[in-house]
């Protein structure tokens, strides 16, 4: 089924050895992670700005740079989410030019994970899997469950038992097998490696990880196209395993390599929550040794990976591009969620609060100069993590259906700028 001459093989990130395009993810010689490799000379004439612009508004408009052989069969409507100019948030953060890449409205499950799952399940079908599975901190489970349902695949998703209700129900509703594990994500992930070996399922972030991970590049490709085919000076990305950050870096390099954008200077910065910040902590220390966090403790459950698979590579991406890492408290996460909502009308989940809060710190510290352009990657919707902010943004005022009571209420409260 070797229909795609652009996607040539899998390649070890450590030793560079080549592998066939199968459901494998680790080099047999040094246990390095395998990554999709392409023939960029073949891609250059096939993927021009004009050709891309003529295609439907989805992440598949860059399909020559994605690791499947035939046409995509899962998630064909995913991606091409808005890149929103955010002048009011820019003013609040003290920076000249700011954009929000808004994956809170991604299709079908309102997070950036729909990108990785579209690729992983399209490839899973090509490789003949009938059951797909994942270890997840929530959003991945939602996306695997939904996309498997619409593709007619069986799904089994494994999550830490203490996730937010919105994430749990957002997997159950699609009829997937949902298994809550008493333990942290690392333990869920370890169990999944054992299950993958024994049952022969397609685990999107284990044996299908090389395909899954490439889906994240499309967030980067879209930013470049939507900015008018240019690279933003600064991009801020929240990190769980660190994969998304490394793939945005790869996306920028690939578009420059095939001549779709001019290769201008850019920095990629990483953001984590203090209750689980192994990558940011190592980066801040100037080390590339990521020290595991055995018991993550933060409201930001979607980013709570104590042993991040791509932490080492994320640090190298930040370092190579002159980026920095930041971290923030749970209180700062809540303030970040509210600030984004109140200035730009975008309701992000806790991970988005991390991105906003860390952006504020990077700008204040001067790591991001006030006169330069910034893109924030906002990766998931706030309705899925309501318990994190319930009680932190006020309560409705209650009255009877009476104009007199309404008049009295308005007269009694502090004048609000947008009501006067």
Q: Looking at residues 339 to 358 of the shown chain, list those that interact with Zn ion (rule: CB under 5 A).
A: none
Within 8 A by CB and 6+ apart from 228, the residues are none
142 is an interface residue for ligand PLP by CB under 6 A: no
Pairing of strands 325-328, 18-19: unpaired
Ranges of H-type helices in 18-112: 40-43, 49-54, 87-93
Cβ neighbours around 253 below 10 Å, total: 18
Are 208 and 118 a contacting pair, CB within 8 Å?
Answer: no
Q: For ligand PLP, which residue of 118, 241, 272, 343 counts as binding (CB under 6 A)?
A: 241
Under the binding rule (CB under 6 A), the answer on residue 268 touching ligand PLP is: no
| Of the candidate residues 75, 232, 242, 323, the single one contacting ligand PLP (CB under 6 A) | 242
Spatial contact of 216 and 238, defined as CB atoms under 8 Å apart: no
Counting Cα atoms < 13 Å in the Cβ hemisphere of 266 gives 26
DSSP 70: S
Tell me: does residue 111 bind ligand PLP (CB under 6 A). yes
Residue 58 binding: pick among Zn ion, ligand PLP, none (C-beta 5-8 Å cut-off by kind): none
Report the partner that residue 363 touches, choosing among ligand PLP, Zn ion, none (CB closer than 5 to 8 A by kind): none
Return d(Cα 256, Cα 236) in angstroms, integer: 19
Scanning residues 286 to 315, which ones bind ligand PLP (CB under 6 A)? 302
Q: Rounded to whole angstroms, how far apart are CA atoms 337 and 92? A: 13
Residue 239 binds ligand PLP, judged by CB under 6 A: yes
Nearer to ligand PLP, 63 or 101 (CB): 101
Q: With the C-alpha atoms ordered 359, 243, 380, 276, is the resulting torsion angle positive or negative?
A: negative
What is the 8-class DSSP label of residue 77? T
Q: Which is nearer to Zn ion, 19 or 99 (CB)?
A: 19
Looking at 30-38, 235-243, 324-332, 400-408, which segment touches ligand PLP (CB under 6 A)? Answer: 235-243
DSSP 288-316: ------SS--SS-GGG--SS-TTHHHHHH
- Site for Zn ion contains 180 (CB under 5 A): no
Maximal CA-CA distance, the chain: 78
How many residues touch ligand PLP (CB under 6 A)?
Answer: 16
Q: How far is the CB of 201 from ligand PLP (least distance, A)?
A: 20
Q: Pick the binder of Zn ion from 9, 24, 26, 32 (CB under 5 A).
A: 32
Q: Is residue 277 classed as helix, strand or coil in its secondary structure?
A: coil
Closer by beta carbon to ligand PLP, 43 or else 166 = 166
Residue list 30-59, contact with ligand PLP (CB under 6 A):
none
Q: Which is nearer to ligand PLP, 4 or 277 (CB)?
A: 277
In the list 3, 5, 14, 322, the residue contacting Zn ion (rule: CB under 5 A) is: 14
**Which CB, 27 or 196, lies closer to Zn ion?**
27
What residues from 337 to 356 belong to the interface with ligand PLP (CB under 6 A)? 349, 351
What span, in angstroms and rounded, lies between the C-alpha atoms of 254 and 226? 16
Residues in contact with Zn ion by the rule CB under 5 A: 12, 14-15, 17, 27, 29-30, 32
* Interacting residues toward ligand PLP by CB under 6 A: 111-113, 139, 238-244, 302, 349, 351, 379-380
């Amino acid at each position: 089924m070797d229909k795609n001459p652009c996607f040539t093989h899998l390649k070890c990130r450590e030793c560079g050895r080549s592998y066939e395009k199968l459901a494998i993810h680790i080099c047999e010689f040094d246990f390095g992670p395998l990554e999709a490799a392409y023939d960029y000379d073949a891609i250059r004439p096939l993927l021009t700005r004009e050709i891309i612009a003529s295609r439907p508004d989805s992440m598949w408009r860059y399909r020559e740079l994605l690791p499947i052989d035939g046409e995509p069969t899962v998630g064909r409507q995913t991606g091409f989410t808005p890149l929103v100019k955010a002048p009011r948030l820019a003013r609040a953060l003290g920076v000249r030019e700011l954009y929000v890449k808004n994956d809170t409205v991604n299709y079908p499950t309102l997070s950036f994970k729909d990108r990785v799952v579209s690729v992983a399940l399209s490839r899973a079908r090509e490789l003949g899997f009938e059951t797909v599975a994942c270890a997840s901190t929530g959003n991945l489970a939602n996306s695997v469950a939904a996309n498997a349902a619409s593709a007619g695949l069986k799904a089994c998703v494994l999550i830490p038992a203490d996730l937010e209700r919105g994430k749990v129900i957002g997997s159950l509703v699609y009829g997937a097998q949902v298994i809550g594990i008493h333990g942290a994500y690392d333990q869920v992930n370890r169990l999944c490696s054992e299950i993958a070996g024994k049952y022969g399922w397609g685990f999107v972030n284990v044996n299908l990880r090389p395909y899954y991970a490439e889906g994240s590049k499309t967030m980067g490709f879209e930013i470049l196209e939507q900015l008018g085919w240019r690279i933003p000076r600064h991009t801020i990305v929240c990190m769980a395993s660190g994969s998304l950050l490394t793939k945005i870096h790869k996306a920028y390099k690939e578009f420059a390599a095939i001549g779709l954008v001019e290769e201008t200077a850019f920095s990629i910065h990483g953001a984590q929550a203090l209750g689980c910040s192994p990558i940011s902590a190592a980066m801040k220390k100037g080390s590339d040794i990521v020290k595991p966090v055995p018991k993550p403790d933060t409201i930001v459950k979607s980013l709570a990976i104590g042993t991040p698979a791509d932490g080492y590579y994320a640090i190298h991406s930040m370092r190579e591009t002159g980026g920095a890492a930041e971290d923030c408290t749970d209180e700062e996460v809540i303030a970040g969620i509210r600030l984004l909502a109140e200035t730009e009308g975008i309701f992000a989940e806790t991970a988005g609060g991390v991105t906003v809060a860390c952006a504020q710190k990077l700008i204040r510290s001067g790591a991001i100069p006030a006169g330069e352009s910034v893109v924030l990657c906002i990766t998931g919707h706030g309705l899925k993590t309501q318990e994190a902010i319930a009680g932190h943004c006020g309560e409705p005022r209650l009255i009877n259906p009476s104009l007199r009571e309404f008049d009295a209420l308005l007269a009694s409260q502090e004048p609000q700028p947008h009501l006067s």
